Structure 1
Amino acid sequence: MFKFQVPQKSDLLLVSILLVLSIVILYLPTGFSETDTNNSERVKALVLETDNSLIVETGIIKTGTQSLNIKILNGQFKNKELRAFNQLVGRMEFDKYFIPGDKTLTVLNLSKDRSQIISANVIDHYRINIEAFLLGLFVIFLISFAGWTGVKAMLSFLFTGICIWKLLLPGLLKGYAPIPLSLIIVALLTSAIIFLVAGTNKKGIVAFLGAMSGIAITCFMAILFGTLFNIHGAIKPFSETLLYSGYSYLNLTEIFLAGIFISSSGAVMDISMDIAASQAEVYQANKNISTKELRGSGFAVGKAVVGTMTTTLLLAYSGGFSALLMVFIAQGTPMVNILNLNYVSGEILHTLVGSFGLVLVAPFTAIIGAWIFTRKKVKK
């Protein structure tokens, strides 16, 4: 039967601090406000009827206007039925197609006194409920399995999301140097996550220092090889759109390079925590162990972990551009051409540089851990 672990005072203090910090960051103004919030309202609506007579189908592509009869399900205009329109531009990645019974996110354009609806724009299928259900299910399973550690892991999960949404992304949009800003945010997240899960003890210190060493190496290699690969950051989807939206001052290449060590930082933390935890257990079982022996123990665990983690990033990233590679294979594009394309080279850079960090964090953490855990014995 599951038994909930009694939290220590240090854990409760750290959780309280992080919870307060999360709330403060959540309510920080970013300088970027939603548009037309005064004369518009976002509501959930039910599609009652559709009129597809103005849609032109060319193969699998649909263009034109889909007319919808919708019923508003919440807000001040609840239960009101009205006509809305869904514009199809012929791009499947952007177009939405509705049938009766679908629930939609709809924007109502209102009069100045907000008493009348001027027009209604159907934005997309309504997914908030199922997203909230999935998040709730994840929280239940996490806490049911991991207990108090699951609570701390969930808090670190939410803190990470808040920091990215409220600190990192607005900072990048404001033109702050992407790489230093990203390093500061990653260091903040790494310290919060590791010390929250491992505790403010030697294990936490070893895991933090090991993780930051791996992240620093990944950052250095991203800058070095990013220059050698001669890749522009505009290869990422929607990056160029930012330049045309009034943010021409953004350094897309540095944002792309910062994304390399940001995306690999989670896996780097996993490895450093695995090695730090294993060394902590070995040291607790045998406090007379030498620095060399404990370092060797860390290396042994590191080799086993790295053996599987080296393919982690490859599998994670390959799913994102599998359709692109399938197009090249279907067209019979020579491999040498594929490997030299800028967006393929960008993913190769992303994967290999990130993997370097995963490999190098293991020996660094083992060396740091052996010194920290046995340093008192050495001093004697």
Structure 2
Amino acid sequence: MWLLIPLAVATVAGMVFLYPWGKDPAKSVFPQGTPVNATVTGTITGPCLAEGQVQVGEPPPDAKPCLTSELTMTDGPASGKPLKLTLPIEPSTPRFAAGDEVVLSYNGGDVANPASFQIVDFQRGTPLLLLAGLFALAVIVLGRWQGVAALIALGLSFLVLALFVLPSILAGESPLLVAIAGAGAIMFVALYLTHGLSARTSVAVLGTLVSLVLIGVLSAIFSAAASLTGLDDSTSQLIGSLGHGIDARGLLLAGVVIGALGVLDDVTVTQTSAVWELRRANPALGWRELYGAGLRIGRDHVGSAVNTLVMAYAGAALPVLLYTSLSGVGLGSILGAENIAQEIVRTLAGSVGIVAAVPVTTVLAALIASREPQESL
């Protein structure tokens, strides 16, 4: 479809214009310290003692417990050297045990001083790589060469996010414009690489684009009407660590656009494929009959797709929902809180876009498939 060529050109031009050429915004982020890997060789639980203090007799019954971890650093400036760190045991404190591989934060001080290090997390590289390998194997076994193409498209999508979207937003560019350009690039690359360069894929691309525009417009209108600032805890921390301001509401809208893209791809590709298969099964069907049959399929699909989007956002916001529910205020106050209202706008705006994607994509697919020569089906 020739209509998509100027849209593709505009996407590339937008990425070139918004990319932070010559800038390195990542240096001003993450001031917590340098990550260093270590292995826990032993742990001791006991009362918290001040530095240099020695316990005499039984600890008092109300003494606060602490966990002392003996570690051996496996990289960094003190690789191979032992280290002993003590931290109070709180409900939010991770439980470390001998044999655990952990990540320390090194503040750049004296490597012989334990105060220069802090345990911040577990190492998770190996299980994540195994899970990624299992996922790739499952996709290839079922999808074969199309599965391989889908994995390549997934990798390119991550590259767009990592090499364009994140650096551009951190450099101070408009998050919404960056998200639109990045989503457009991901859409073109993922759909055409996975499903081939065809009229069927072009219809899915156009349906996805129209729905994304609708989602962006609705999100912008209702986030402004609801006075959403986008300043949740993580965004506030990000702004504090940057050397410049950032459009927090634009960041919220960018998340809505990118988050809805994956579900929209699924809906539009499925609707387009359904219409083409209906036309192949019965070449005598006109575009109205194709549209009616495809829409009936879409009604079943849209219900599960909307539920998928709602559950995905609810799962991501579950800690916020639990924390907010402890306040003891009414349901209206909970739903009107900034963190919860953001998820409501994300979910409902995305769901409206998904619902709209079904008739829009179906009518486009019906109009074009009905004009396809039978031998090309």
The TM-score range, normalised by the shorter chain, is 0.7 to 0.9
Q: Distance in 2 between matches of 1:252 and 1:266?
A: 23
TM-fit CA distance, 1:166: 2.2
Q: Distance in 1 between matches of 2:367 and 2:282?
A: 15
Aligned pair partner of 1:307 in 303, 312, 315? 303
Q: Distance in 2 between matches of 1:260 and 1:376?
A: 35
With over 3 angstroms needed to count, the CA separation of the structure-2 counterparts of 1:74 and 1:247, relative to structure 1, is closer
Q: Distance in 2 between matches of 1:142 and 1:63?
A: 50
With over 3 angstroms needed to count, the CA separation of the structure-2 counterparts of 1:105 and 1:373, relative to structure 1, is same
Q: Distance in 1 between matches of 2:64 and 2:361?
A: 56
Say yes or no: does 1:126 pair with 2:113.
no
Question: Which SS does the other structure have where 2:99 is aligned?
Answer: coil
With over 3 angstroms needed to count, the CA separation of the structure-2 counterparts of 1:55 and 1:145, relative to structure 1, is farther
Q: Distance in 1 between matches of 2:30 and 2:237?
A: 21
Q: Counterparts in 2 of 1:272-287, with a 5 A limit?
A: 272-287=268-283
Structure 1: gaps of 5 or more residues: 1-24, 57-61
Q: Distance in 1 between matches of 2:226 and 2:211?
A: 21
TM-fit CA distance, 1:181: 1.1
TM-fit CA distance, 1:174: 0.7
Aligned pair partner of 1:211 in 194, 208, 212? 208
- Counterpart of 1:168 in structure 2 is 165
Give the aligned CA root-mean-square deviation in angstroms. 3.3
Percent of residue pairs bearing the same amino acid type: 21
TM-fit CA distance, 1:370: 1.6
- Counterpart of 2:40 in structure 1 is 46
With over 3 angstroms needed to count, the CA separation of the structure-2 counterparts of 1:50 and 1:36, relative to structure 1, is farther
Q: Counterparts in 2 of 1:1-380, with a 5 A limit?
A: 31-33=25-27, 42-50=36-44, 52-54=46-48, 66-73=67-74, 80-85=80-85, 87=87, 92=92, 95-107=93-105, 120-235=117-232, 237-327=233-323, 329=325, 332-375=328-371
TM-score, normalisation: structure 1? 0.78
Amino acid at match of 2:99: G
Amino acid at match of 1:216: V
TM-fit CA distance, 1:46: 3.2
Amino acid at match of 1:344: I
Amino acid at match of 1:105: V
Aligned length: 338
Q: Distance in 2 between matches of 1:350 and 1:41?
A: 34
- Counterpart of 2:5 in structure 1 is none
Structure 2: gaps of 5 or more residues: 1-18, 51-62
**8 Å contact 1:299–1:366 — kept in the other structure?**
yes
Q: Distance in 1 between matches of 2:363 and 2:347?
A: 25
TM-fit CA distance, 1:64: 8.8
